[in-house]
Amino acid sequence: MALLTTNYLTPTGREEAWRFTPLRRLSGLHDGSVSITDRKSLSSTGTLQKGVTFQRVSRELLSPQSVSEDVIVQRVHAEANDIALLEIAPNTKVSEIIHLQRLLTGPLGAELSRVRISIAENSQATVLVENSGEVVLGEDIEIYVGKGAELTFISLQEWDSASVYAARHHAMVDKDASFTSITVTIGGSLVRVLPTVDFLAPNSSAELLGVYFATEGQHFEHRIHVDHGVPNAKSRVNFKGALAGDGAHTVWIGDVLIRSAAEGTDTYELNRNLLLSDGARADSVPNLEIETGEIVGAGHASTTGRFDDEQLFYLMSRGIKMDDARRLVVRGFFAEIISKIPNETVQERLMNRIDDELTKAGA
């Protein structure tokens, strides 16, 4: 299978999907030049409730359920030897958060990781993936949300500053099911995540939320793709980002495709960026393609701005110092999304990390 590698079309950087990504900094994940170590860094922590299983399955037993045009995802599909499989049985209400963790220390070889999360019909669960440490990692996470199920998927990218992470987080949402994702990216050198959604049957819904904070030299890219191919599905996208420091670069792409069969679609996507210093750059490209007029609603908004002087003045006029006022405003900006993470310890940790980044950037 490894031979396939040479057949991939190596991106040149001119392709729409790659035009923002600094290819040289991908450590060879995109052109096959990196050598892969057979490592399984994702593990489940804590005890799993009845009806929840986490295991490794060999690739022969579990082929991908979706295709991707992304060359790194293709490589993961072709080369990852086994799959981390998290399954939730039908009609199961999982009350505790299911924790998956990846904690790597020191520079190790590159890894390709395939993950499958599958929640069966009428079940409810929240899955939290905590990523930290130093990695070069290509990953594909396929998520199946069964009929009438509700899944919240939270992924935290708190990588060390040298890490490279290129991944697809792909949700397939079945009839009457709802999927919520919260993607947090605050650490790493280059992070490129593709949060994508495919609606498999009508009356399904997806809410994709995200926050990112890039400081000096960091490249954080989120390319959303929501594919409305069935009637009466609903999608909401809301990503908020902050940037500070020289060469901080964020990219947000929001592709929403409403196919001709997708009558009754209701979609709205939003991206807001807060530029905290000069020398940082936020690219934000919402993109709505509509092939049927019979929809409930479709819209998008994208804003990029600096600190609001009026907000800072108001806070400072109550004795709050400039630095503290800025911290409050930035925390407030992210709170809308971070407060939705159902774990206060994690919320506080992320907020503190954001404070630290802000202090480090001197913004």
Partner 1 sequence: MSTLEIRGLEVSVITEKGPIEILRGVDLTIASGETHAIMGPNGSGKSTLAYSIAGHPKYTVTGGTVTLDGANVLEMTVDERAKAGLFLAMQYPVEVPGVSVSNFLRTAATALRGEAPKLRTWVGEVKEAMNALNMDPSFSERNVNEGFSGGEKKRHEIMQLELLKPKIAILDETDSGLDVDALRIVSEGVNRAKEANSLGVVLITHYTRILRYIKPDFVHVFANGRVVEEGGSELADKLEEKGYAEYVGS
Instruction: Please tell me what DSSP assigns to residue 2.
Output: G
Q: How far is the CB of 308 from partner 1 (least distance, A)?
A: 8
Instruction: Please tell me what DSSP assigns to residue 110.
Output: B
Interatomic CA distance for residues 163 and 217, integer angstroms = 12
The phi, psi pair for 204, rounded to 5°, reads -100, 160
- Pick 246 or 336: Cβ nearer partner 1: 336
Site for partner 1 in 328-357 (CB under 8 A): 328-329, 331-336
- Pick 16 or 310: Cβ nearer partner 1: 310
Q: How far is the CB of 322 from partner 1 (least distance, A)?
A: 7
Q: How far is the CB of 338 from partner 1 (least distance, A)?
A: 9
CB count, 10 Å around CB of 155? 22
CB count, 10 Å around CB of 306? 11
Q: How far is the CB of 313 from partner 1 (least distance, A)?
A: 6
Q: How far is the CB of 336 from partner 1 (least distance, A)?
A: 6
Q: How many Cα atoms are found within 13 Å in the side-chain-facing hemisphere of 100?
A: 25
Q: How far is the CB of 299 from partner 1 (least distance, A)?
A: 20
> In Å, how far from its chain's centre is CA 121?
24
Number of residues that bind partner 1 (CB under 8 A): 24
Question: 291-330 mask for partner 1 (x: CB under 8 A)?
Answer: -----------------xxxx-xxxxxxxxxx-xx--xx-
Interatomic CA distance for residues 233 and 229, integer angstroms = 9
Q: Is 260 within 8 Å of 229 (Cβ atoms)?
A: no
Decide: residue 87, CB within 10 A, 0-12 exposed, 13-18 middle, 19+ buried: middle
- Pick 291 or 308: Cβ nearer partner 1: 308
The phi, psi pair for 358, rounded to 5°, reads -65, -45
Q: What is the CA radius of gyration of the chain?
A: 20
- Pick 69 or 324: Cβ nearer partner 1: 324
- Assign 90 to helix, strand or coil: coil
- Assign 36 to helix, strand or coil: strand
Which residues does 187 contact at the CB level (< 8 Å), separation at least 6? 132, 157, 158, 159, 160, 161, 163, 353
- Pick 34 or 338: Cβ nearer partner 1: 338
Q: How far is the CB of 73 from partner 1 (least distance, A)?
A: 34
- Pick 73 or 242: Cβ nearer partner 1: 242
Q: How far is the CB of 310 from partner 1 (least distance, A)?
A: 5
- Pick 149 or 325: Cβ nearer partner 1: 325
- Pick 4 or 322: Cβ nearer partner 1: 322
Which residue ranges make up the site for partner 1 (CB under 8 A)? 308-311, 313-322, 324-325, 328-329, 331-336
